[in-house]
Homo-oligomer: A and B are copies of this chain.
Amino acid sequence: MSMKGEGNRQCIIKAADELFYRCGYNQTSFQDISDATGIPRGNFYYYFKTKDDILDAVVQARCNDFIEILAQFDASTTDPRERLLLLADMLRANEQNVLESGCPVGSLSAELAKDSADLQDKSRRVFGILRSWATEQFSALGLTQEADELAMDLLARMQGIIVMACAFKDAGFLQRSLTELKDWIRQVVGTMSQAG
């Protein structure tokens, strides 16, 4: 597949990514993607074997996006504590989207949990990237023993905040919870790294 075709492929992935986030995977039809891209829906099978294949590509794209974002966090400061705070701050940067549609990672995983186990396995990869990155940060702070558990705790807190903020469309709760979350990060890192 050459330049021209690859461009269309990326166009499909980009449109599908947005639609999967806004409408859900199952609720997004080929017609929707066709309308968004201008590419006839019959042509999708030139680029992808099946709808699941588009999901694969979208998941891969999201993985790459996060890898890049996390690399920027890594580049912007050497302090793992600051890096974790940057991750938390994504809640503020994406406030509007979060209130409207929840977390692209969490909501996709939750949706696919109700489809085949096979599909959820794929979506889990995005969470895996965040989890291992956060684990690295906690480890770098001397919390090697409990690093993975802390990473899971951090992600769980973020997911919970998003679910409730989205359910009640409550920007105030989102802001307040973000503050508390950042306090928690500072506290966990501060106290436990002294103890460890």
Interface of A toward B, CB cutoff 8 Å:
22-24, 26-27, 100-102, 106-107, 109-111, 113-115, 120, 123-124, 127, 149, 152-153, 155-161, 163-164, 166-168, 170, 173, 176-177, 180
Contacts and interface: CB of A to CB of B under 8 A. Distances in A.
A35 B75 CA distance: 56
A164 to B, nearest CB: 4
Residue among A111, A115, A164, A168 facing the most chain B CB atoms (10 A cut-off): A164
A39 B106 CA distance: 35
In the complex this chain forms, how many copies of it are found? Answer: 2
A168 to B, nearest CB: 7
Contact of A22 (B24, B114, B127): B114
A137 B24 CA distance: 36
A120 to B, nearest CB: 8
A164 B177 contact: no
10 tightest Cβ-Cβ pairs between the two chains A and B:
A160-B160, A156-B160, A159-B163, A109-B167, A159-B160, A156-B164, A24-B114, A107-B110, A106-B163, A23-B114
B27 A167 contact: no
B168 A164 contact: no
A101 B115 contact: no
A111 to B, nearest CB: 7
A157 B156 CA distance: 7
A189 B180 CA distance: 17
A13 B41 CA distance: 37
Contacts of A152: 164, 168, 170, 173, 177
A113 B100 contact: yes
Contact of A27 (B23, B100, B115, B177): B115
B166 A109 contact: yes
Contacts of A22: 114
